[in-house]
Structures are given as C-alpha cells and as structure tokens.
Amino acid sequence: MSSGSDIRDNIQARCRHASRLPDYRTPFGARPTESNVDLFFDAPESASNVTLCYTYGLYKFSYHEEPMHRLASSNRYHVELRLPHESSILFYWFRFNDNGSTLFYGAGWDTRDGEGCIYDCPPRVGADEDKYPYAFQITVYNKDFRTPDCMKGSMIYQIFPDRFARDRNFSFTRMTTASPRTERIYHEDWGEDVDIYGKPETGYLACDFYGGSLRGITEKLGYIKSLGIDIIYLNPIFEARSSHRYDTADYLSVDPILGGNAAFDELAAKAKELGIKIILDGVFSHTGADSKYFNKFDRYEGTGAYKSFAEGCESRYRSWYNIFRDDKGEICYDCWWGFPDLPNVNEDDLSYRRFIFGKDGVVDTWTSRGADGIRLDVSDELPDSFIRQMRSTIKDKTDGQGMLVGEVWEDASNKCSYGSYRDFMLGNTHDSVMGYTFRHVLLDFLCGYISAEIADTRLEGFRERYPAEAYYCIMNLVSSHDVPRIMTMLGGAPDTDDREVQKKTSVSEQDYARCASLSRMAYAFQTAYVGASCVYYGDEILMQGYKDPFNRRTYPWNDITGAQRENLTFVRDISRLRRENTCLRTGFYRTLYAQGDVIILERYLNEGRDYFGKEGKGAQKIVFALNRSAGSAGVRLGESISGITADVTAPFEDAVTGCLIEASGEEVKFNLEPYGVSFVKYISKI
C-alpha cells in the first residue's frame, strides 16, 4: 500500500515547469510591459482542471485564474499571457486536481533550471507574508526602460575620499584649519591606523581625518585609468562633520578638507579628458544634526530647523524635519536608526524636493559641474516617488545619459520595505543597484559554503528576475565601505563587533597565498560575469580590513609589498582583457559547466553583435573557467561549444595561476590547477 508521501512523490515526478528553460517559459526572464509570455506546464495524466493562477501589481495586487489548454496527444498544458500595461511584479503558479486532491505547483528553491515543486496550499506573496510556498516571478518592467550605455559592462572604482590620496601640496596645517572642530582628530602620519576611540570628552564619532583630497584623486587618475576604470564612484564629498560624510552639512559645497568646489571642478575636467565618468554619493534620507539645515549646535549662519522649533522663530528648513516634545517637554526628533546626529528628512516635503530637484538645486548644481550620476544611500528608506523624481531629473539634466544607482542589499526585483513591494527594478527609478547579492553568492562559493551548482543557480535566479538593461549595469562588488574587505573575509574573520579584535584581525602568513589566489579569482569572475565590475580602492593590492572603520584605511602608496604589486599586475592584465573584448562587457551569457568546485561560463557575440544589438570588437567568444579548490581539476567541454573551429589561446597563462588547455577539433579540455582561472578566446565568427 502506497503512503501519502509516495503518492506525492509520484505526482511530483510527473509535473514540471522550469522558468529558465524555453520549453516551459519563453521568452526568458524579466519582460517589458504589454509583451507576451508563453507558459507551459507538464501535468500528470490523471490531472484535471489545470489552471494558471497569477497575481500582479506593486502597492496593490489583483488575483486571476486562467484555464490552460492541453496540447494534442500530450500531458503538456499551455497558456499565452499578455503582460500588464503598467510595470509591476507578476507572481504565478499552477493548480490542478488529482485523485480527489487540489494541488499547487509553485517555484522551488535553489533548483538548477528554475524547476518548481508540489505544495498543498497556494504560494504566499503578500509584502508582509512569509513567502512560503514560493511563487514563480515575472518582473514586468517599463517597455521604455533604457540605461546609459556607458554603465553597461563598465569597470567602476569606488573611493573613500579621505583615505585614498593626499595631493602633492598637502599641508597638515591646512588640513587642521580648513574646517576646524574640537571633536576632530587629525592624523599627520598617513600610515597611522584608524581611530576607534575618539576624544575622551566625546567618545568615538568617526571624526578622524587623514587629508585625502579630490586633488589627490586627480593626481592619481593615471593610476586609476591603468586599472581599466570607466567610472569613479565617490563616497560622500559634501561638507560634513564626520570623515565618512554621511551626515551632510551642506549639499552644495564640497568639504573644505577635500579642496572645496574648485577641486571637484578640476577632477571632473581631468576625468572627462580621460573618458572617466563620476558618480557621487547622495544622502537624502537624513542630514547631519550639525548642518546648515538642522543646525542643532548653531555652528552655521542662519536659523536651522532645531532652533526654529525650540525658539519659535522662522526657518525655511523647519518643514523638512519632524521635531516634537516628549512627555517631559524635551525636544525630540525622528532620526535615522535612532542616531541623534542624523535627523531624518521628510522627503515628501515640497520645499525639500524643490531644493533637491529644482533650478540651482542639488541635482542641477552637480550635474552642471560635471557629475555623471548619483548613488542613492539607503534607497529602501526613500519613497518610490522621490526616486522616480530623482531619475527623471537626472535624465533631464544629462540628455538621458546620467546614472542613478541605488543601495539595495537584497533582491531588488522583489524588495519589500515599509509594508510594500518597491518600484526598484521596473524601469521607473534606478538604472541599477549595488551588487551585494552578487557578493554574497560569490563569497559563499569561494569560502566553500556552497557548491558551484548552487552558486550558479542563485546567480541565474537574479539574472532571470532583473531586466537586462539593469542587470548589465549592476554594480557587482566584493568589498565596500560597509562590509569587510574580501581578503579579510577569505581569511575567516571572526564574527565579532569588538573593535579591538577587529583591529588585530588579518590574514595569517600561512593563509596569505591561498586568500590572495581566491581574491584574484573573485576579480576574474567579476570581469567575466554580466554587469559592471566594481573595485573598492585598495582591493587591487589586497588591502585588508574588517568592518567600519578598518575597511576604510589609507591606501599605502609608499609601502606596497611585492605580493601586492604582483596582484596589481594581475588586475591590470585581466581588466585589459575586458576592455579589448566587447563580449566580456555586453555580450550574451551562458553557463557551460557548474559542478563542485568548478564554474565554466561563456560570453559571446551573435554575428559580431552584443546583447543589445551593437557591433562589438575583439574575440567573438570567451570561455572563462574557475577552480576554487586546493586540488587540480580536469573538465572536458565538447558538444556544448561545438560548431566553433577557432584559434584557442590561453592569454595571461603566466599571470593566472595554472591552467593548461588542450584543444582537439571541437573539444576543449581545461586542466585547472589549484585556484586556477583561465580565459579562452575563440576568434572566429560564431
């Protein structure tokens, strides 16, 4: 007698829908509004009433059912779905009756081709619900969505301005007098470690400064260009009390310690000469309490919001903030994550929006001065309407070429916050987002927590859910100012918030070579994979550092080791490969092999043109292979790359750790050494 689980397993074996396979869903991935999608479902022969169930919307969802048509002489069912007129998220699943039971077939978890599985109840998709059982997703984006070509497949360099480079005319006296404040600590020695104590009377405030400047960055543009960089992303440069400057004091003025507005003008002009774009960090969910707008400490001329409330006098900034008195009569105000130094701004206030988006406002000022885009700090804490207005304003000011990137740590295609799905990947707000999801998957793989199969499955899931216009611009990173550096992560950093422990955390001598190899592997994968590859300053020389502030140490210009120089050479060689071959920037993508420790993928042009139909240069196809293990690996690829009769070369054979390649007819064998990576170029036309 069969058990209920046996019956269920039998039904599961006879059902199939795989959202990433053209036999079950076509076309692939996110789709534009008012387009058609064909859905196919294999049901058991005994199934009846096979129905497609779907719900779509954003802030409000509507639910629908549509009977599926059974194809002749088969157990396959089909429906053609016309997608909504408005951009939205569409979730779907299948329902059918079998042996007296009503069953549901929804999405699986970590399934290779997006296969689903049987559930006893329908999927849950509400913004505030636990999303289990899972539904299949189609991201329905604005059919007019276009992102700047300059960002697609670009190479980005992120700089924390105070810690990158002093200019040749640096003066310690000038630094200490540029914007003097009693709580600040000034480092005369560039190589001194970051402060974690603050002054005795204040405690730690992230107010230590080294004197890195915009002119210092300008003087290093040749170095930055040698890394193959197309775009520089600058952490905040506007005047502020702290060295991280996420507590904006004046949106219209570059911090005097960084050189003021004139220094930005020089940087923008020189970068433009070299073909380098600049993205500025914009913090619009809050300001500093010590700012000309809030002016809690009365350091700025004019009346700020705090004094306006306390004394009942007028201030143009009063309506920007929510200030009130508690039960004891004490002045209180909404602040970011409870930090009193960061009062929240009401982004729906029209006078605030005029200041940000109006003539001579923030966006107008900095795009006029040469900024090419803005990265939005904490996008999920800004109203969608504010981000939509930011996007349209940037596009208007830059003839459509300005870039808008959001700080989103999770899957931006179905991100929920404040009780609603967010309009992040629908073609109305961001061009793209920071690739923290990419970082999470790649580090999990390199650290051995997940297999190549799982890593590939998760990345393919993001590629399926993101519009290609956005996915080719996603800022794929492995380190940033908000997370530990990759070398530190690969070295097995302890999970601690103790800054004394963090300060002493570094890769051991016996692990250094392994971590360096894995770090190079991460950079190579960034270069080969879809998206914009973002390097955090110093990662190219294997800088180490745990959480903030240790991930914000100074770049050691005069103290670079031999191992660091070797890694720098590797980075330059690999970046040149991406610059010279369009297929690695904007080409088509396919995974050829993902098992155990090995991932092999291909980027290619189609009849000489990239994914967006533009003519490409360089190799028509490049196959990238990666072996994360400490042992060698041999993989044969034959049928999957058949039809190519081409010159097979192994560029950078000496620079890339150990890969021998054997070619015979249409078959290629990769003999990957421990921690080996290789780029194989196919020169002939596909």
Q: Which of 548, 574, 600 is the last residue of a domain?
A: 574
Helix (H, G, I), strand (E, B) or coil at 664: strand
505 lies in some domain:
yes
Across the range 18-33, mean pLDDT stands at 98
d(CA 381, CA 682): 46
Q: Residue 108 domain-assigned?
A: yes
Q: What is the pLDDT of residue 179?
A: 85
| pLDDT confidence bin for 177, thresholds 50/70/90 | very high
The C-alpha angle with vertex 365 and arms to 364 and 367, in degrees rounded to 5, equals 65
Q: Do 258 and 130 belong together in one domain?
A: no
Is 53 within a domain? yes
Report, as an integer, the average pLDDT of 482-504: 93
Q: Are residues 554 and 488 in the same domain?
A: yes
pLDDT bin (cut points 50, 70, 90) of residue 366 is: very high
Q: Would you say residue 579 lies in a domain?
A: no
What is the model's pLDDT at position 236?
Answer: 98
| pLDDT reported for residue 672 | 87
Lowest-pLDDT choice from 482-486, 602-606, 645-649, 656-660: 645-649
462 and 521 housed in the same domain: yes
Residues 253 and 242 both lie in one domain: yes
- Is there a contact between 529 and 463 (Cβ–Cβ < 8 Å)? no
CB 513 within 8 Å of CB 562: no
> What CATH number is given to the structural domain containing 565?
3.20.20.80
Question: How do residues 372-416 score in pLDDT, each as one tens digit?
Answer: 999 999 999 999 999 999 999 999 999 999 999 999 999 999 999
Nearest residue to 220 via CA among 234, 200, 206, 240: 234
pLDDT of residue 639: 58
User: How sure is the predictor about 640, in pLDDT bands with cuts at 50, 70 and 90?
Assistant: low
Amino acid letter for position 406:
G
Please report, for the domain that includes residue 668, its CATH number: 2.60.40.1180
Last residue of a domain, one of 574, 597, 613: 574
CB 331 within 8 A of CB 360: no
Q: Are residues 267 and 373 in the same domain?
A: yes
Residues 261 and 246 in one domain: yes
- Is the pLDDT score of 246 beyond 80? yes
User: Residue 100: its pLDDT value, please?
Assistant: 86
- Same domain, yes or no: 621 and 495: no
Distances (CA, A) of 150 to 60, 529, 581, 588: 35, 17, 15, 17
CB 71 within 8 A of CB 432: no
What are the C-alpha distances in Å from 152 to residues 434, 461, 470, 610? 13, 20, 8, 11
Q: Tell whether 116 is covered by a domain.
A: yes
The domain total for the chain is 4
CATH number at residue 109: 2.60.40.10
Q: Judge residue 159's burial from the number of C-beta atoms within 10 Å of its C-beta, 0-12 exposed, 13-18 middle, 19 or more buried.
A: buried
Structure confidence by residue, pLDDT tens digits, 194-242? 999 999 999 999 999 999 999 999 999 999 999 999 999 999 999 999 9
**Sign of the torsion formed by the C-alpha atoms of 587, 592, 596 and 597:** negative
- Assess whether 504 and 400 both reside in one domain: yes
Give the per-residue pLDDT at 648: 45
The last residue of a domain, from among 532, 552, 574: 574
In whole angstroms, give the CA distance from residue 651 to residue 596: 25
Q: Tell me how far apart the terminal alpha carbons of the chain are, to the nearest angstrom.
A: 56
The answer to whether residue 148 is domain-embedded is no
In tens, the pLDDT along 302-356 reads: 999 999 999 999 999 999 999 999 999 999 999 999 999 999 999 999 999 999 9
- Give residue-wise pLDDT tens across range 530-558: 999 999 999 999 999 999 999 999 999 99
Average pLDDT over residues 407-428: 96
| Residue 661, pLDDT score | 64
On whether residue 581 sits in a domain, the answer given is no
Q: 40-69: per-residue pLDDT in tens? A: 999 999 999 999 999 999 999 999 999 999
Question: Which residues, in sequence order, are CB contacts of 321 under 8 Å at separation 6+?
Answer: 294, 305, 333, 334, 343, 344, 345, 346
The domain containing residue 337 runs over which residues?
286-346
The answer on pLDDT for 645 being more than 70 is: no
Same domain, 281 and 303: no
Examine the domain organization and report whether 268 and 306 are in the same domain: no
322 with 365, same domain: the answer is: no
pLDDT tens for residues 613-639? Answer: 999 999 888 889 999 999 999 888 875
The verdict on 340 and 397 lying in the same domain is no
C-alpha dihedral, 639 to 640 to 642 to 646, nearest 10°: -130
* Mean pLDDT (the chain, rounded): 93
Q: Could you give the angle at which helices 260-273 and 362-369 cross, rounded to 10 degrees?
A: 50
pLDDT at 456 over 60: yes
% of the chain at pLDDT higher than 90: 87
Give pLDDT tens digits for 646-664. 444 443 333 344 455 666 6
Predicted pLDDT at 657: 41
Query: Which 3 state secondary structure label does DSSP give 678?
Result: strand
Q: How far apart are CA 312 and CA 298, in angstroms?
A: 15
pTM of the model: 0.95
Domain holding 302: CATH number? Answer: 3.90.400
Q: Which two tokens stand for residue 625?
A: 């292979």
- The reported pLDDT for the residue numbered 188 is 97
Bridge partners, 74 (sequence order): none
330 belongs to a structural domain = yes
